[in-house]
Structure 1
């Protein structure tokens, strides 16, 4: 990817997406990230690289305590409004206090399963929190799958141009949040 697209100024790499299981930042993820970043930087010295952390990209506090030396790296955080709350937001504030850059490269309005309802109030708490801290975010997921996190109603076109009726409850909420973004 870096060899092919590294000359473009709008490329974002995400490596180590949602590491989980018996891995941790210092022994497994960080050494992997150093090697992959060196490979990317051989072809692309400038574009942003987002690095995941353990526990499905939620252990950003570990990365903040032993950061990578590359100046254009951010640490991924993933959350689901129906599952994650104040504890994870506190980790963001802690990591930021250690000068770690955070990028929320996946979040959903649902539970972590992708289903379980649309948690509008908690979603708004999260988005206000991120916007107040000027943290970029990307919503999961742009599909017409029959689950709470899907932004499109079943059968919606894969080509875009969606009407309000073709958006799911999640899609309508996320659209509104994007339009409200400062």
Structure 2
């Protein structure tokens, strides 16, 4: 295994890379030749940020690859709804996420309804752009999450989505760290309807940002259909007509057991998968943590290099929020302000995997 944080010189010695430690897992290409560690008298190589080391990402087979063609796994956090918890996304909290946690990515969750984007499109678009700038300055990848949830048919917000993604992609098309998630959790609607939406939105993004990876929501709250009693075959056998895309999966460990894990495993062997939301609690992000089941998911993700983002980087009262209540208002984001789930997920991001 090689480093969790790649150095500026990508083909550095495996031994030197192992000493650096962070959440991105690049694999040396077969042609790369490891060299001996530099003499102690030479200055140590500085670790690059995830974006500086890996550049523009793209889909490669069933995986995600960096500019050098090496497969990578992103690990990071999702904001809560920015209409409620913008005070948790600050210079101080993002410094903590980047420098102490060693994360690679943050998912910016822009709710469409629930007092979100539809109430003030200009404000929420500007907020997304501000967060993108903050993440870019820290060398992190940014997932622009169109957090549609209720109504569950993404076509209900099709025109809003076109406006939003056109504006964000046009403004940020010179950046190499943007990933677009175009439908958070489609539900109560057929895969054919979801697929139709994806095939209308992807070209909108491509017109402004042709190289960005686009993440596509799957049926039944992005469970690949499992939560509606189906399985992954409906998606796997009827893919969206677009390239450089990945399919999303969400799980909550205390609610989603072996059936969900097996479906993710099967799907990941056939199509590019990205876990854009998960928690160690029940499906509402509440209740007791099931770290054992969550660990099984993350072990699978590590073995198949499936990127993941945890819900959520806020101080909401629920057990799924990583910070204790009041932390964001006080500007305190250290380990003493983390709930049990926050301590666990920080360790998961910081600790190299064994695969």
Please indicate the TM-score interval, normalised by the length of the shorter structure: over 0.9
CA contact (8 A) 2:265 2:300 kept: no
Match of 1:15 in 2: 182
Instruction: Give the whole-Å Cα distance in 2 for the aligned partners of 1:88 and 1:132.
Output: 17
CA gap 1:111/1:9 in 2 versus in 1, 3 angstroms: same
Match of 1:25 among 191, 197, 205: 191
CA distance in 1, matches of 2:254, 2:287: 8
Q: Is the 8 A contact 1:131 1:181 kept in 2?
A: no
Runs of 4+ with >3 A deviation: 158-161
Unaligned 5+ runs, structure 1: none
CA distance in 2, matches of 1:139, 1:76: 13
Q: Deviation digits for residues 140-174 of structure 1, max 9, x if unmatched?
A: 01111111101001111368662221011110000
Confirm whether residue 82 of structure 1 aligns to residue 254 of structure 2.
Answer: yes
Distance 1:162 1:82, change over 3 A: same
- The answer on 1:169 being equivalent to 2:337 is no
Q: TM-score, normalised by structure 2?
A: 0.48
- Map of 1:126 onto structure 2: 297
Residue 244 (structure 2) aligned to one of 72, 81, 98 = 72
Residue 56 (structure 1) shift: 0.3
Going from structure 1 to structure 2, the CA distance change for 1:105 and 1:120 (only over 3 Å counts) comes to same
The corresponding residue for 2:267 is 95
Aligned counterparts of 1:120 and 1:155: Cα–Cα separation in 2? 25
Structure 2 stretches of 5 or more lacking a match?
Answer: 1-167, 226-231
For 2:105, the equivalent position in structure 1 comes to none
Residue 116 of structure 1: aligned partner = 287
User: C-alpha separation between the residues in 2 aligned to 1:129 and 1:68?
Assistant: 25
**2: CA distance, partners of 1:163 / 1:127:** 24
Partner of 1:106: 277
Decide which of 170, 177, 189 is 1:3's aligned counterpart.
Answer: 170
1:97 shift after superposition: 3.1
Cα separation, 1, equivalents of 2:331 and 2:180 = 24
Q: Give distance in 2, aligned partners of 1:68 and 1:90.
A: 22
2 CA distance for matches of 1:78 and 1:96? 13
1:80-112 per-position Cα deviation (integer Å, ceiling 9, x unaligned): 0101121112212222232x1000000001100
- Hey, what's the Cα distance between the residues in 2 that align with 1:180 and 1:134? 15
Q: Secondary structure at the match of 1:77?
A: strand
Counterpart secondary structure, 1:42? helix
Aligned equivalents of 2:273 and 2:339: distance in 1? 28
Using the alignment, how far apart are the partners of 2:350 and 2:329 within structure 1? 22
Is the counterpart of residue 50 in structure 1 residue 215 in structure 2?
yes
Q: In structure 1, what is the Cα distance between the partners aligned to 2:341 and 2:329? A: 17
Alpha-carbon deviations, 1:110-138, whole Å to 9, x = none?
Answer: 10011011111111111111111110000
